[in-house]
Chains A and B, each alone.
Chain A
Amino acid sequence: MTAESVWSDRLNPIVVKELRQAVQSRFVVAALLTLLVIQLAAMGLYLLTGAGSILDFSAGRNAFMMLYAILLAVSLIFVPFYTAVRLAAERSDSNVDLLFITTIKPRGIIAGKMAAAFVLTLLIFSACMPFLTFTYFLRGIDLSSIFAALGFGFVLVLGCTQLAVLLACLPMNRAFKTMLGVAALIMLSGLYIGILSWIGRVLYGSPAAVDEFAKVMTVLLLIIAFLGGLFFAISVAAIMPVAANRARVVRLFVTGAWVLIGLTAAIDSQVEKHHGAVMGWQILFNIVFSASLLAAVSERDHPGPRVLRAVPQSPLKRALAFLFFSGSANGLAWTVTMISLTLGLAWGWARLFPGRNGYWDLAGSVKWLGGMSLFFFCYALSGALLRRHLLKRIETQWTWVISAALMLLGIILPATIGYLLFSGEKWWTEDLGPWFVGNPFAWGVKNHRNLYASVAGVWAVLAAALTLPWFLERAREFYERPAMKE
């Protein structure tokens, strides 16, 4: 057996298939050739019009920014679009289903798609690299800046591709996916302009931008890595068969990232003597966990036999497994545990080092995000109670829609009632705060936090009390189930 065939055998079959198809695709070849022609034409025009004169010490920078903008625009649209459309088309018929009865795992499918996107991006960037490195000879830009910008752009394209893959994996109809795609495109446009202007400010020597370059780059790369990983985990869960333990991969990833980023934030706080990183950690994860509450109530009420067959036998492992297994009760237990831990640790850290910079910001953010999470808890549980007792015809997977509708009502209704009844009163215009009582995002209004906390507190206790019998029943089912083969 030749080395080539051994290597070919070891490759993920999805990568082999995707690359074979990409090579045969006229669309890919046309896109690549068009990009090269545009780059060549832009560079030629730039030089011919004399803009790139050797007397101009920023000629290299200008040319680089022009070519970089073209490369980033094409790659940010083409690679995510090409990868996502192909995956969505495969998912709309039985192609993906057929893969599940082979030895390929859902993780392998998404990893294969991303690896193929990686190679495609590499191909595009490699093809454009000669033009971009040529700008070095026009002066005004050094090679390290060129490669740093290219490297960052590369990672950004992959991050956006992972987002596109996630959208393609979501079990929604084409219209809804298109709407989400348009929303993602608008977001992408903003990101594109922001990244270009930031790199421009660094290259053109804005002192603040240059000083902060390494820090901003690190934070951005960390965010891309976290979101990329999260989108990867959710994509894997989304294409898994309904019968599988879909939630585990997402919960394990988020818990791992929570620990890692939390440790990094704590170390940064120790080194910098500032609470900023810990505050960022608690804000990021409380947002993720609050959103997870809506996902948790939309999970299956009863995990199927295939999920339960993997329940460990040891009571301790079984208790821990309860948090990480698919199931609505399991999801609620995990999110509530993680929210409590995040808030508790952030609050404890602030109290442990009260003299550090950013203490008040951290303490304030804990109250704000804690309040927000409490409201999310109330809406999620109320939505689930409504579905279980009054809207039984609605499937469990749509519980989040009921909860979101309740949240919308909670935000709009009190303010509308207040406006209709008291809009003529003078005090109404002076203090609108009390009318934001159902709004989870209004906890920034500090002088009414007691009111918000009282309402949310009573509501949460009631919702939890009504949910408790159902929760205990699910927990009992999980703990008492005899374990199958592990």
Chain B
Amino acid sequence: MSSSEIVILGTGIHPFGRFDRSPEDLGAAAARQALLEAGLTWPDIQAAYLSRMYLPATSGARILSRLGGTDISIVDIEAACASGGAALRQAVLAIRSGEVDTVLVLGVEKMPRGFMDPSMIYADWQVRMGMSMNPAYWSMRARRHMHEFGTTEEQIATVAWKNHRNSVENPNAMYRKAFTMEQILGSKLVCDPIRLLEICAPNDGAAAVVLTTAGRARELGGEPVTIAACAHTIARYSADFRCPADSMSATIANPGPTEVTALKAYEQAGFGPGDIDCFEVQDTDAFCEIEICEQLGLCEVGGGGPLVEGGHTEIGGRCPVNMSGGLISKGEPVGASHLGQVVEIVSQLRGKSGARQVEGARSGLAHVLGAGGNCAVTILKA
């Protein structure tokens, strides 16, 4: 690895779930763990970024004051479900600028139960008319995909079955329970055709990474993992039907945010989906994992249903997806979700994922996608 490459030297995670603990408690725990794993202390950090969506202003400085006084730049970054990727990208750019060489990126969230507060993303008139339920938009895309490509409810349920089963081996997941296909297909409909055991829940959690240059990492020792790419974009015009969209063009269909962001990331990395050994992707609902596998290029458009049905995205399959159990089982603490994926990929590339381990994984990809078509893709290599 060239000494100018940027690496992750330390990772930390506070389990995802619901806790009687403050954002400061959650965030400080993950940050301390990342510093410890990197063999560094808080005064070694030259800049820090907090990824969060629901926490109040200047939460980064508040949370990190738990580690001690400092005068470094600490900035909060928000980009909906892609906040973690946007924060990680800022850290990469800061190191690449040459101004700093050791940076902490922390993701923290603490969210109320149930559906997310609609006033965060919807206009008043959409709320008044009943259009403020995020799963409705996932479900409408699922229904259209079933109509166009013959995707089945069983294929969608298979995503949930696989991810819930993977979560049993992940001590950081909120739900660690395997379900049968009958239980999933028999669970309550939330928005047809998507069911309760096929969607994720907002919750609490934190994850952190310490970045530095490969050159500095060599001096420090440890087990660095290279950031081969980190990209963030928002959806182009008429490219992504997702909350809070009130309309779409029927004459123009631009490439979606996952396709655009992944292409940028593949170009940065210099390799593509066929050379990547494992994937953590946004499975806010079971259907969207199918669609994202297609958009990342793991199969052809319309082939996502057969891909999961054929077992290709299982841990022992051709392209393992959501080894951690995905957001369906971990929950989605929005600011922490992408960094949680990155922590999982680092653990995979170090060969330390135990029963979740993808044999011989040398590269991995983390993907998040949310409101406004905010999308981030990070690619790591051993």
Q: Do A and B interact with each other, yes or no?
A: no
B contact set with A: CB distance below 8 Å: none
A contact set with B: CB distance below 8 Å: none
